[in-house]
Amino acid sequence: MMGEDDDQLKVISIVGFGGLGKTTLASEIFHKLEGQYQCQSFVPVSQKPNLWNVLRKVLFQVGYAAPENTNMEIWDVDELISTLHKFLTGKRFFIVIDDIWDATAWSAIRCALPENKNGSRVIATTRIEAVAAACCSNDYEYVYKMKALGTEDSRRLFFKRIFGSEDTCPSYLEEVSTGILKRCGGLPLAIITLSSHLATQRDKLDRELWEHTLNCLGSSLELNPTLEGMRQILSLSYTNLPHCLKACVLYLGMYPEDHEISKNDLVRQWVAQGFISKAGGQDAEDIAVEYFNEIVNRSIIQPAHTDSNNDVLSCRVHDMMLDLIIHKCREENFATASDDIEDISGTRSTVRRLSLYLNGGATDGKSLGTIQLSHVRALTRFGTSTYIPPLAEFKHLRVLNLELRVSVEHMTADLTGLCYLFQLRCLRIMIFGYGYRATKQNLRIAAVGDIGNGCAQGPDSIRCCSFAPVAAPDR
């Protein structure tokens, strides 16, 4: 389908249960065909799509540069669709729309893709057959149904992860390995999770360890993939983590679905939260990096970008793993995440870590419900809303991670409360506006009035920040 000589725009859907490898397949095709198209883009959509973000990412990835003094932050979805359609007209493009759940969201994205005759191609991945059909205008010839791996491919993947080769499994582990693979139901995510769990054990050749792993697994994936069956397998990998890694993994629940997480930002937050204990004279941040790499090795997080030495620079959490982590966060009252301030009103009063993912709509004057803000130790805020929580009330905050969007010129945000966060150890402020990204170091700081003393242990004294663009575009 991808290699057809037909010059008409073609949309190909890849459909299948979560964990079957739809994203991996789409990614391999994307990189294999890199350079054969004028414009390429690979964008995740997620279960709760933010079309504004999706379209904006596609625009930047295909190479669109906004005219000088243009503020894209104030554009609505219709303007983004119109701009993308106009930019792609006459070009040969290849776009992957990954993990789409809603036919309505697809309809909006489809409006941005011109019907040209340049051999352009689009791949959409989804778990829902009706959405897959809608993406292809119900032409089932262009719907590819992912199948579970067969016995031999499952064995190959499993043994290669544990032993480095598919032919080196000791004979005394053959029978138990067959039982484990049967429980995985041919799902690559399940196979990789379990093989990574076994591969990282000191006694990975111990038959009792393998039998214990088998006995911990349910049989629901054998005949029919289910979320609960997948959660059982993923839960095993979490339960058997060393104690020092569990808090680090749960902290991933502070990030929204499909978010690309910077390794450097993450490890600094772990250190600031006190998750890392110094050992043998090692710097805490170096130990945190070792923890990060161990979590990668266990396949709990997936590399997003690597450097020339193959060191992971950023990562993502598979949505099924994130589902488990959020479940554990609630169960253990480790963190609370919400995309609606009003939903927090029923949350238990003692919240240690709070993550807000807010898009659009005025939230001024709204309360964070019954939460005792003075108990919160970490606060993250993502999304397009301009709402900033009452920072001064977070008296024991150690980590503050704010992502803000500028929608009007010379817009200001009152960050007075920062001056009273004496326990703060990690501050990250990302500001998006006019197609640019800014960090705290790039902000133009304007002190207004006397901010008082006593901030020596806290962040730089900030009364009011005016958003000033910097030269690096937000890609």
Evaluate if residue 93 carries a pLDDT over 60: yes
Tell me the pLDDT tens digit for each residue of 120-148: 999 999 999 999 999 998 788 899 999 99
User: Is residue 5 assigned to a domain?
Assistant: no
Same domain for 133 and 195: no
The pLDDT mean for the chain works out to 83
Rounded Cα–Cα distance for residues 60 and 3 (Å): 26
Same domain for 95 and 206: no
Same domain for 275 and 374: no
pLDDT number for residue 263? 96
Same domain for 460 and 376: yes
pLDDT number for residue 436? 40
Locate 373 and state its tokens: 């803000």
pLDDT number for residue 363? 53
Mean pLDDT for 230-257 is 92
Same domain for 359 and 465: yes
Find out whether 126 and 15 touch, Cβ atoms under 8 Å.
yes
pLDDT number for residue 335? 94
Tell me the pLDDT tens digit for each residue of 31-84: 999 889 999 999 999 888 889 989 999 999 999 988 887 778 778 899 999 999
Q: What share of the chain is helix, strand, coil (3-state, %, to 5)?
A: 40, 20, 40
Mean pLDDT for 225-254 is 90
Nearest Cα residue to 430 out of 470, 458, 457, 464: 470
How many structural domains does the chain have?
4
Domain boundary (182, 205, 240) is at 240
C-alpha neighbours within 13 Å on the C-beta side of residue 370: 6
Q: What is the DSSP string of 39-108?
A: EEEEEEEESS--HHHHHHHHHHHTT--PPTT--GGG--HHHHHHHHHHHHTTS-EEEEEEEE--HHHHHH
pLDDT number for residue 416? 79
Domain boundary (145, 162, 178) is at 145
Evaluate if residue 353 carries a pLDDT over 90: yes
pLDDT number for residue 462? 36
Same domain for 169 and 98: no
Identify the CATH number of the domain in which residue 66 sits. Answer: 3.40.50.300
Rounded Cα–Cα distance for residues 407 and 403 (Å): 13
Same domain for 341 and 396: yes
Q: For residues 391 and 313, which has the higher predicted lDDT (pLDDT)?
A: 313
Of the pLDDT bands very low, low, confident and very high (cuts 50, 70, 90), residue 460 is very low
Evaluate if residue 25 carries a pLDDT over 80: yes
User: Is residue 253 assigned to a domain?
Assistant: yes
Of the pLDDT bands very low, low, confident and very high (cuts 50, 70, 90), residue 432 is low
Least confident of 174-178, 267-271, 424-428: 424-428
pLDDT number for residue 13? 96
Locate 159 and state its tokens: 């043994």
**Which domain, by its residues, includes 446?**
335-474
Distances, alpha carbon 224 to alpha carbons 148, 227, 439, in Å = 10, 10, 47
Least confident of 30-44, 298-312, 342-356, 460-474: 460-474
Identify the CATH number of the domain in which residue 459 sits. Answer: 3.80.10
Rounded Cα–Cα distance for residues 420 and 309 (Å): 42
Evaluate if residue 398 carries a pLDDT over 90: yes
Evaluate if residue 440 carries a pLDDT over 50: no
Same domain for 100 and 18: yes
Residue 215 CB coordination number (10 Å): 9
Q: What 8-state DSSP symbol labels residue 341?
A: G
H or E element at residue 378? strand 378-382
Evaluate if residue 281 carries a pLDDT over 90: no
Nearest Cα residue to 9 out of 123, 176, 106, 130: 123
The H-assigned helical ranges of 200-283 are 207-215, 220-223, 227-239, 243-250, 263-273
Share of the chain above pLDDT 70, in %: 83
pLDDT number for residue 467? 39
Q: For residues 471 and 205, which has the higher predicted lDDT (pLDDT)?
A: 205
Helix, strand, or coil here: 174? Answer: helix
- CA torsion sign for 163, 165, 170, 173 is positive
Residue with tokens 């010059």: 7
Helix, strand, or coil here: 267? Answer: helix
H or E element at residue 14? strand 10-15
User: Is residue 318 assigned to a domain?
Assistant: yes
